[in-house]
Structure 1
């Protein structure tokens, strides 16, 4: 079963502890947000994920589950950023 981006955003944002979610494309354009995530942050999220990805030898990574994950802890929430190939996702907890 395939899900639309809107359905995926809704599903993630409904999980316990999730305050927001943002999805950006490879260029940093916002594809969608939920909760406290703001579309203006899409370029920053994509840039952080791309920078983290460049620290590893991407040519050797065949399994997307091995892509870099970045965690940023702030006073009131944490942001988990992960590049998934053609898009980047940020989950605010």
Structure 2
């Protein structure tokens, strides 16, 4: 599984617009991180995804986009929770 996670993270980071990425399990533990994504943010990333899902119980997997200045953090859960940090 570790090799598969590394392949996914490397593939995400191959896009020059991406400055970081993170994968976390349902308990908020970091599975892997690359670039400027901090493994310490895994818990809050999962919590944000879970809270967003409560806004519309009929929506299976909401996508959360957080923007600050020229940076964007996109969070999505599909089994694992993923976050991609982009430079605008």
Compute the TM-score of the two structures, normalised by the length of structure 1: 0.83
**Structure 1 stretches (4+) deviating beyond 4 angstroms?**
none
Q: SS state of the match for residue 28, structure 1?
A: coil
Q: SS state of the match for residue 26, structure 1?
A: coil
Q: SS state of the match for residue 18, structure 2?
A: coil
> Does structure 2 retain, via aligned residues, the 8 Å contact 1:53–1:83?
no
Q: 1:60-75 alignment to 2 at 5 Å?
A: 61=60, 67-75=61-69
- Structure 1 gaps of 5+ residues are 62-66
Q: 1:1-93 alignment to 2 at 5 Å?
A: 4-58=4-58, 61=60, 67-84=61-78, 86-93=79-86
Compute the TM-score of the two structures, normalised by the length of structure 2: 0.88
* Matched residues, number: 84
